[in-house]
A and B are shown apart, each in its own frame.
Chain A
Amino acid sequence: MADDLITMDDLTNEQIDALLKDAEKLLPAANGEVYLPLLEGKLLGNMFFEPSTRTRMSFETAMKRLGGNVVNLGALASSSVTKGETLFDTMKMVDGYCDVAVLRHPRQGAAQYAADACKIPILNGGDGAGHHPTQTLLDLFTIKQAHGKLNLNVVMVGDLRYGRTVHSLSHALSRFGANLTFIAPPGLSMPEEIIEDLKANGSNIKVSEDLVSNLPTADVVYMTRIQKERFPDEDEYLKVAGIYKLSRKDLKDVKESMIIMHPLPRVDEIHPNVDSTPHAAYFDQAFNGVVARMALLCYLFGVDIPKEVSQ
């Protein structure tokens, strides 16, 4: 792997496989059964220029479960960013403070830009509508946990235009031979250039606007939120908000093993009555953010994970 993780292209399929195996081994340390201070003395910079709950907290948890420590950019209002500091200058500073940094930024390409400015490894925690590779790692881990393989029928639903999680995940899944179905309202469909890339990888792609008819053949249904913050005005948002909603009554004809995923936060895409069904995988998925990021951090620092992590 390159020192930085900007897109999933920075990882080979073999490296992804190895990371998923490492994540499995680290589960007892991720849920606190075992303390595994493999990264003692290491410091991670959490640089979030956009709101985040899961990515920021799971990186922090991952680092601390491994005995490392974390410094946060904190609220933008209290940082020099409001004084007009460039991303370049901010990242140069972090480069001196930390051993690794996670960056989330509203502008696309910010992670690569920061990586070019810094000597320490930069992990892309989401750049505009671009990429979110560590989310993809945890998504792949969740799918593999449930099905034992990745060459499955995966249906992606919602905001596929601006949703960076689905961009990264579709690229990764296409490399493992998955069949992808994209379901989006008009105006929020998967960008044509991504579809072209996926087809060039040999992927089987189906595009539709109807969710229910595509449920029975799905192994994974990946729901996403229509992101209000990506719309220039509220009227445009309201036209498509709430267009795809999944509730228990829609699950009558689905495969027994089908899992429903969501990068969270959800608004009303998945009704709470789905939470108690065996198909709901989104909370496990959120937990897997810790273990997948632990595996990635160990890999970055070249730390060997014991063959068996147990008490």
Chain B
Amino acid sequence: MSAILSNVSGKVTSLFAFTENPHLNGGQKLASKYFTVAMVLFLAQLLFGLLAAIQFIWPDFLFGWLDFSVNRMIHTNAMVVWLLYGFLGSVYWFLEEESGSEIVGLKLGVIGFYVLTIAVTLVVLVYLLIQTGPGKDASIWFINEGREYIEAPRWADIGIVVVILVFFYNVAATFAKGRWSGVSGVLTLDLIALAGLYTAGMFYLTNITADQYWWWWVIHLWVEATWEVLVGCIMAWSLMHLLGARRKIVQTWLYIEVALMFGSGILGLGHHYFWIGTPDYWFSIGGFFSALEPIPLVAMVVHSVYDAGVHKFKATNHPAMAWIIAHTFGNFIGAGVWGFMQTLPQINLYTHGTQWSASHGHIAFFGAYATINIAFFYMAVQKWRGNVWMSGDLPGNGWKWKWSIGLLNFGVLGMTVALLIAGYEQAFIERAMQGSTWDAYFAAQSHPWFREAMVWRTVFGLVTIGGLGLLIWDLMTIGKDESRPALALTHED
């Protein structure tokens, strides 16, 4: 038995042998493992999204085998998990440089990575092969919790919390041993909130109003508060690294972002409490504060574009810099503008629970989070290749990264607009005109405007997948035969 186990674990670790690279420090080797799994899950997210999109057009496709519910769950779960893998990896990547110390519990961190990855694999296999269970606690513990985005069964929740605690220990203890900075202080406090909030989604309640009240603590306070601050930290570090931006300026911006983000985002939670049975004072609180949520995102655009301009776009890594700019615009447009469009209760009464939300979800998650992870993947590949040249004048004029950033952004934007059209149609026909009954629902779902939108969404989904294919190819080949060293920056302090 132990011989088999060591054989299997040997095979698994040999999959990640390429991360044992002399150019990388301990944290960066671990980060490369996280990034690799993140890319695999990114691909899975898009493929299962495609299956679900096809089912909107041909409902009989895979019916009874791999139903829409399964595909959609894997689509969204793969996304949440790959983004988290990207964040964990990014923090491990810069932890040693930012703290000036070796990671305190690197071995523990590596074990945590393998435990998490095995857990994710098991959860996905159960989703695919077992799918659903009887209406008992055992199903919630071992098969599927059945709550959107956090469907992972309870055993996996506990595993995730343990691994995140190991990660948190590594971050806090390494900074404590080395040195603290503004970036690391914000990051560490943010991680406490991020890990703590997850436990708000780890208990069962029959009262569905209270259930959804706490469920939104996880979903909203992650993606509209703590994740935003986390990517703020990652962006702050990236701008110093890519452009040589001054630490003082970057950190001042980070504090401004934290003040605006938490000042609007924490009570902005109220925009999810309009229709779930909660008191109607949430109309005013949720409407007001969530309407302010785009402001920090504007600040981030100004911040990144200004910094890039001041440094005359002399960046050590052009693809990464382009993705950082895509991140700030995507975050503002996707999370800010698309969110604001339906955040006031007067419009949300008609758009809540329609394709309007799906439209917002696509552009916001891509714009705010996928983009900054991709930027970091490029920074990682550059170092992994031996800190080679990755600014202008790349072989073939860097066509692969340029086409992939173009196709990915164009594809997601196309899906977003198609889903928005479907959402408008649904809000008017199903909600406003026909009063939201099941007949009204199906009338809207079978309207030509809706059907055409679903076809266009699938077409743009294929464009997005094409962009991802090119991105994977580029990440595997960029800098391969490069002999020039990376652009040297003149740091201002």
Q: Do A and B bind each other?
A: no
- A interface vs B, CB < 8 Å? none
